[in-house]
Amino acid sequence: MIIAEILNTFAVEFTFVVMKSYSQSIMDYAVMHPIFGLQDLYAYYDGEANISRQTISWYLTKLTESGMLRRIGHGKYAIQAKQQFTITPTEEELKLNEELKQEWPYAHFCIYNGSCINPLQHHLAANNITYIETEREATSVVFNHLRDKGQTAYLRPTRELIYNYIDLSQPAIFVKPLITESPVQNSNGVLVPTLEKLLVDLQKDSDFFYMQEAEGTNIIRNALSLYTINENRLLRYAGRRGLKKEFETIIESINSND
């Protein structure tokens, strides 16, 4: 009986040491590879007979549950050290959301200010526009409501209109259609875009023309380095907007150069 207890205690302690060793090894790998996949880690351990793909997956699940890693896509992980991108509505935006919900209680409104883009930019361009996205059929009535209230508002402004007549550093409101199944999140009772939605919209919408092409790639690079991004969500929404291949190419290029 005593020998059995000693052996059992030894087995438990040995298992704990092995678990701790592999957990630390995985975290060391994560520090050197901020974004990695299960297959990457399995290849890293290639040749170690004591650990299987299923076991590695188990360790990743436990490290994710403990908060040390974050799952950012199917079989993809990132170290938790990256920040979470958040948009906090201002008092003015909270009031605007309440006003619109009173007028159209069944409509959805995604509201945010262009200043939230500042941390992502390489060359800072002032943007003090408040963006209101809602169902396509509601955009005109919302626009007219805002104009009747004396607000400086524009309905789906074109690149030419913005370039020639609108100073983005001055307060104004852009009313735009809300793409169905857009990845949004609730912030203090207001729907705001997730980082994934924002990155795709910046590359697609004509009113963000000045942040596209080379600057757009810099913005995506900054986002990937600073914040946790769900690549599945990003590519799914990019696909809805016809940009999936472009984003796959940009992400692959950024990851290969890092």
Rounded Cα distance between 174 and 185, Å, is: 20
What's the alpha-carbon Rg for the chain, to the nearest Å? 24
Helices (H) and strands (E) in the chain, counts: 10, 9
Provide long-range contacts, Cβ within 8 A and 24+ apart, for 237-244.
237/179, 237/181, 237/182, 237/183, 237/196, 237/197, 237/200, 238/200, 240/179, 240/180, 240/181, 241/179, 241/200, 241/201, 241/204, 242/204, 243/200, 243/203, 243/204
Rounded Cα distance between 233 and 254, Å, is: 18
56 or 177, which is more confident:
177
Residue with tokens 């390489």: 122
The fraction of the chain above a pLDDT of 90, given in percent, is 50
The fraction of the chain above a pLDDT of 70, given in percent, is 87
Lowest mean pLDDT among 39-53, 87-101, 155-169: 39-53
Rounded Cα distance between 107 and 111, Å, is: 13
3-state secondary structure of 176: strand
3-state secondary structure of 73: strand
Rounded Cα distance between 172 and 23, Å, is: 51
Mode of pairing for the β-strands spanning 184-187 and 190-193: antiparallel
Domain ranges (residues) in the chain = 2-79, 91-257
Residue with tokens 């203090």: 188
Nearest Cα to Cα of residue 134 among 166, 159, 101: 101
Rounded Cα distance between 178 and 52, Å, is: 45
Token reading at 80: 């938790």
65-73: average pLDDT: 79
Residue with tokens 């007549």: 165
Helix (H) or strand (E) holding 239: helix 231-240
Q: Could you tell me the fold of the domain covering 2-79?
A: Arc Repressor Mutant, subunit A (1.10.10)
CB 226 within 8 A of CB 196: no
Residue 194: pLDDT band with limits 50, 70, 90: very high
115: left (phi over 0), alpha (psi -120 to 50) or beta: alpha
Cβ-proximal residues to 161 (8 Å cutoff; 6+ apart), any chain: 154
Q: Tens digits of per-residue pLDDT, 76-99?
A: 888 765 678 999 999 999 999 999
35 or 61, which is more confident:
61
Residue 183, pLDDT > 60, answer yes
- pLDDT score, position 81: 59
